[in-house]
Amino acid sequence: MQNSEIAAEIERLKTEFSGADESKLRVLDSLIEQAAFERIYLRRMNEQAIETGLVKIHPENSDIQKSLPISGEISRHSAALTNILDKLCKHLCVEQDEDDDSLADYE
């Protein structure tokens, strides 16, 4: 994979969490890098799956089917990316209290 793709994805993710505490960003930097890698890798696997398909079907008997390895890999990397992003959101997302914002008009 090209480092420029991963670097761009890392920057995109850091922008998404721009409101987060800088010390938390530094601690979770490797997790952000892994999320970027997983996203790029998953995109490439999906492109490959579009070309090859996810299931091989016997040409003479359509009831005979075999799952291709790419389908399992896509599933595994999707789960990994979801898990990483969930952890990043738990630690880096800045919650805004909407009730406080609406009450500011009345003060």
Whether this model's pTM surpasses 0.85:
no
Structural element, H or E, at residue 104: none
Listed by start position, the domains of the chain span 3-94
Question: pLDDT in tens for each of the 107 residues of the chain?
Answer: 558 999 999 999 999 888 888 888 889 999 999 999 999 999 999 999 999 999 999 999 999 999 999 999 999 999 999 999 999 999 888 665 555 555 555 55
Rounded-to-integer distance, Cα 105 and Cα 98, Å: 12
For residues 6 and 33, what is the distance between their CA atoms, to the nearest angstrom? 8
Instruction: Give the N- to C-terminal CA distance of the chain in Å, as an integer.
Output: 54
Q: What does the CA dihedral 57, 58, 59, 60 come to, rounded to 10 degrees?
A: -140
CA nearest neighbour of 39 among 80, 88, 89:
80
